[in-house]
Structure 1
């Protein structure tokens, strides 16, 4: 069996690793010219779901080495007001880790680097009775038994395969950056949110070496060119927007570094689709608000579940159908939970209601 994986993000790399361990041929095609070309965030939250998935997609030695780099925060979500008065505490069960995104990506990449071809932009695919052929913008074609769209929220596979599936804005823009770890003393939780008037939020989460610091606000309350601003301009903007907040928060923003803006978007749940030799995983299928901290965990879970389905040895389409049923149900359930949490804590727009509009 040969599996064509489109996208070398966390989900695509995890799938390639799992397939390789299962003895299945995987070829990964990534549109970026290198794995370091885009900033996608810093700290990630791993729950039991993601940690367990690493068992099947990494070698035991690689997994142990990676987990040794993780930080274990207090298993709770804590919310403060701008004076740092505690307003909400939610206790979490299970194991929770704070990890560095690039460290995880490097660990996943280490065992599958030779399977990846960079600079390959998918332009289409053809699904036949017993195989699927992918086409790329340099004229290359590749044929395999399965094509997996692991190419993120802007998935080229999803746009062609499920043109009625929608990605919509949440109404929020998030600015991501880092602060020295010592500034987050007393905030060593799975996530700490300081929420103020007008749905303004400063989020803090520790890793072993630094703390992430994010600022979120409604898009209409930010300058129209916020996505083009320099780091210095973004820092100045947030200092203005947190005027009067606790001095510790102000120190965090004044020492913010490696800051970049991102418009937050989400998928809109759709009904199950007919199974073919093409499938999706992670954000390509069920992108969501970061409010529940579930996105990376679900991408890893999808990779482990798809690996297990393909390694089972039975007929291919039933195996893919079984994988998709669980992926769609649990993935879109997480989208709804994340949207609800985002609306409650961050002021996110509600998910659009009503059936999807299918192409004529």
Structure 2
């Protein structure tokens, strides 16, 4: 069996790793020209779900080395006001790691480099009997028995396969950047949020080598010109604690990202085309769950494809659980996003079971 994976992000690469050496042929196609073409973020949170999934798909020695080098924050969420008075604390159980996104991607790419083709943007696919043909913008095609959309929130696979599935804006834009660890050393938690008026939020989280600093605000309150963002953030945080102001003054490598979310839908009739990660269930970053679920989807799908059991029942079982857990996380992250970040309410979806 050959599996075509569209997208070489975390989920697509994790799936390729999980299938490597199982007897399943896998080919990954990525629209970007290289793995470092565009900035996609810095620090990621991994909990038990992501850690276990990563360990199941990577070679044991590579998984052990990567996880051992990751940063372990205090397992707590802390929310503070602009004077740095604690408003809320929440302790977490289980394991929690903070990792650099590019380092994680490098670890996932190391053993499957030869399976990835860059610079291929999917334009369409079609099913013919027991095969699926993927068509790319350079005129080339790829044929396999299964096509997996691992191509993120803007998934081309989802747009054709499930045109009724919606990904909507949250009304928020988040600015991501880095600061040195030292100014925020005592805020080394899974996540710290400094919440001010009008749902303007400074987020802080550490990695081994740096801390990330994010700023969230209503999109309408931020200018479209990137060079004005830093000065506007300084204006919006006027009067905040001097430590926060110093962190913002040290802010570097900043880029904006409009926050989006999927609207939950009902399970679809299973075919040889399927989805994983953000292509299926994009969610607010408020819950820190997106990377974890993409990795779990990949590990679960690899087990379904490599087990040698009848294909469609295995894919159906994978999809039902992926959608159940994925949309549960979408709803939970939307609730946290509304409470902490002030994002728009999650629109009502259609989650009724399809009629047989």
SS in 1 for 2:20: helix
- 2:281 maps to which residue? 286
Distance 1:69 1:268 in 2: 36
Are the equivalent residues in 1 in contact too, given 2:168–2:263 (CA < 8 A)?
yes
Are the equivalent residues in 2 in contact too, given 1:22–1:307 (CA < 8 A)?
no
Q: 1:74 to 1:21 in 2, by over 3 A?
A: farther
Distance 1:110 1:236 in 2: 40
Distance 1:52 1:22 in 2: 19
Distance 2:69 2:39 in 1: 20
- 1:240 maps to which residue? 235
Instruction: Tell me which moved more, 121-130 or 292-301.
Output: 121-130
Distance 1:300 1:116 in 2: 18
> Once the two structures are superposed, what CA deviation does each residue of 1:45-102 show, in whole Å capped at 9, x if it has no partner?
0000000001221001110111122100111100000000000001111000000000
Instruction: Give TM-score, length-normalised by structure 2.
Output: 0.97
Matched, 1:260 2:250: no
1:323 to 292, 311, 318: 318
Matched, 1:25 2:25: yes
- 1:209 maps to which residue? 209
Distance 1:242 1:348 in 2: 19
SS in 2 for 1:11: helix
- Structure 1 runs, 4 residues or longer, greater than 2 Å off: none
Distance 1:67 1:113 in 2: 20
Task: Give the C-alpha shift of residue 266 in structure 1.
Answer: 0.6
* Count of residue pairs the alignment pairs up: 351
Instruction: Give TM-score, length-normalised by structure 1.
Output: 0.96
Distance 2:167 2:101 in 1: 23
Distance 2:30 2:349 in 1: 34
Task: Give the C-alpha shift of residue 354 in structure 1.
Answer: 4.7
> Once the two structures are superposed, what CA deviation does each residue of 1:167-195 show, in whole Å capped at 9, x if it has no partner?
10001000000000001111010000000
CA RMSD of aligned residues (A): 0.9
For 1:171-186, list aligned pairs within 5 A.
171-186=171-186
Are the equivalent residues in 2 in contact too, given 1:234–1:259 (CA < 8 A)?
no
Task: Give the C-alpha shift of residue 348 in structure 1.
Answer: 0.6
- 1:83 maps to which residue? 83
1:336 to 315, 331, 334: 331
